[in-house]
Structure 1
Amino acid sequence: MAWSDQETIDAAAKVLGTLGEKDFALGGATTYRVGGPAAIGVKAEAEQDLLRVANVGKMFDLDILVLGRGSNLLISDRGFEGIVVVLSEQFGEIAVNGLEVTVGGAVPLPVLARKAVNEKLSGLEWMVGVPGSVGGAIRMNAGGHGSDTSSSLVAARIMDLRNGTVHQRTARQLDFRYRSSNVKQSEIVLSARFKCDPDLRGDGQDLLSEIVRWRRDNQPGGQNAGSVFINPVNGTSGSLIEEAGLKGLRIGSAFVSPRHANFIQCEPGGSAEDVKALIDYVRSAVEKHSRITLTSEIRFVGFGEGS
């Protein structure tokens, strides 16, 4: 497709050579399975690849987006006019040392949960129901079933793709809050260390099965990004949406799930613009009905200022 500064995109892609792919498809890389391409996509096999991306981004003044499992992301139908970085399986190692687990930023959370349980470790079971990566979990302090990332994270090794610098940040330095941290869009989590507890009762496998069963029974499948809005201090976003009479509401190809009101789903072949319009409408309607402003958990990319 044609970008607003195609000349710059072409020049940057030329410098990246075989490392970069122009018009890199993104829709299939997110759980919403909608959205346009990135101007350039890079699948990094090593930290040296990330340094090249940082240099090219700085050289051509291009925005850089880190893409994990795409489970908390909505990309516009227009796409992303910059460089998207995806970590390869080379960043997917898991090493267990006593009660500590060191993992690559690309490790899927369910894989980490099962590995920890197999090693007779406890504390990461909740991750089995979250379809994200370690890097994404740290960025948004993902959580569920009474726990979250900050509860067990020791430290993370992070690269800033604006300049290629690498540093370690402890859990305290990450300034974790409910569903957020201070990891920037330009930063990528290379690896992380988690501290677990010993599974003294040996019920880890049962807990994994229970979480998977609960998710299956209570949350919808299909194309969605999980919970759309952060729960307010009192109550839940789902109940507020339902009280406003929005369950099942549809805008084009997007609709509020009849099973769980805090899930907005999209039909196959649907539009990111429909999903964004419905999210905005739901937020406005809940504010009008309950005088509570909901905050989205979803990251919006390519929708312009204020998105």
Structure 2
Amino acid sequence: MSRFDDLVDEGRAFRDVHLGSLTTYKLGGPARLYVELHSEDDLAVLAAALREVPQPILVVGRGSNLVISDQGWPGLAIRFGFEFTSIGVDPDFFVTAGAATTLPRLARETVNRGRGGLEFYVGIPGSVGGAIRTNAGGHGSETADWLESVRVFDVETGEFETRRPEELNFSYRSSSIRSTDLVVSATFRTIPIEVEAGQETLREITRWRKVHQPGGTLNAGSVFRNPEGDSAGRLIDELGLKGFRVGGASVSMKHANFFEADVDATAQDVYDLVTEVRRRVEEDTGIALVPEVQFAGPFT
């Protein structure tokens, strides 16, 4: 028996867990193996199991920019548990948050403690770990602007490392963090602010989202990265593609860079819609849009 077999027998790992319920699209099939991490000791156990039986790794996080294949994920899916949601503030205005901390909560708690800079996170339905991987941003700010350091667990070496922003090769909506680098926590710089002023900023961002972005639908946020000097949503809208549909997936009528899924949609529908919209934009404008959403597992 492998160490993964032992973990399954002990109830610390699970087979054939459907991942769709862990994503905002609610689509997709099962992971061959699934582990939820509850302590740093769990990371060491996981690394030992992976050294014995290597698996492709998928960190699920909040599942807010993730589409799981209808066939599932042919490896190990990992999610950080509640134990990785702590937020700590020190007198020098550094804020440290666990990987599973939701970004809206981080924004609100820092503002309520008179710390500013991270207000833009209130409009991003993801987690700290995902924000580091994707250099998440909005409203004129991005993660790299405020990041001081990241604590990472390298599953290949079984070691914890602290990395500075300059080591992560941040660019627009991307970083050099590998799938085998598990973000455990991140420390951010903040600035002193008046609590009421910060709360008003949070309200303004929330109002803006309600006006400009679809709510109450199955979607994964922005589908494409904005090309330099332009907007992916504008390019899609200019082609008259709002409402364009492939199967159970369609381009939002409210924001053309948001693609919505019906309750009977498939992950393949979303993939095919993304592929077709990208093809049409490139054919018309010469601009090859780059997906911001991650597709995990086999698609045709």
Q: What residue is the counterpart of 1:122 in the other structure?
A: 116
Cα drift, residue 114 of structure 1: 0.4
Moved over 3 A (4+): 10-13
TM-score, normalised with respect to structure 2? 0.95
Given residue 150 of structure 1, which amino acid in structure 2 is its aligned partner?
A: A
- Give me the TM-score of the superposition, normalised by structure 1: 0.93
CA drift at 1:202: 4.1
Instruction: Return the offset for 1:12.
Output: 5.5
Match of 2:41 in 1: 48
CA contact (8 A) 1:139 1:181 kept: yes
Tell me the alpha carbon deviations over residues 154-207 of structure 1, each in whole angstroms, 9 at most, x when there is no partner. 000001223322111111111110000111122211011011011048400111
**Closer, same or farther in 2 for the Cα pair 1:23/1:276, shift >3 Å?**
same
- 1:90 alignment partner AA: E
Q: Does 1:15 align with 2:6?
A: yes
Q: Which residue of 2 aligns with 1:88?
A: 81
**2:132 corresponds to which of 138, 156, 174:** 138
* Corresponding residue for residue 32 of structure 1: 25
Contact 2:2 / 2:49 at 8 angstroms: preserved in 1? no
Q: CA deviation at 1:217?
A: 1.0
1:268 is displaced (CA, Å) by 1.4
Gaps of 5+ in 2: none
* Partner-residue secondary structure (3-state), 2:131: helix
Q: State the match for 1:109 in structure 2.
A: 103
Amino acid across the alignment from 2:272: A
Aligned-partner Cα distance in 1 for 2:58–2:148: 25
Partner of 2:239: 244
Aligned equivalent of 1:174, options 168, 173, 177: 168
Alignment of 1:261-280 (within 5 A): 261-280=256-275
Q: State the AA in 2 paired with 1:58.
A: R
Look up the SS of the partner of 1:206 in the other structure: helix
Aligned equivalents of 2:26, 2:170: Cα separation in 1: 29
The Cα offsets for residues 128-179 of structure 1, whole Å up to 9 and x where unpaired, read as: 1100000000000000011010111100000122332211111111111000
**Equivalents in 1 of 2:195, 2:221: separation in Å?**
31
| Percent identical residues | 44
Is the counterpart of residue 288 in structure 1 residue 283 in structure 2? yes
Amino acid at match of 2:249: A
Q: What residue number does 2:251 align with?
A: 256
Classify 1:204/1:60 alpha carbon distance in 2 versus 1 (closer, same or farther; 3 Å): same
What is the SS of the residue equivalent to 2:220? coil
1:58–1:163 CA contact under 8 A, matched in 2? no
- Equivalent residues, number: 296
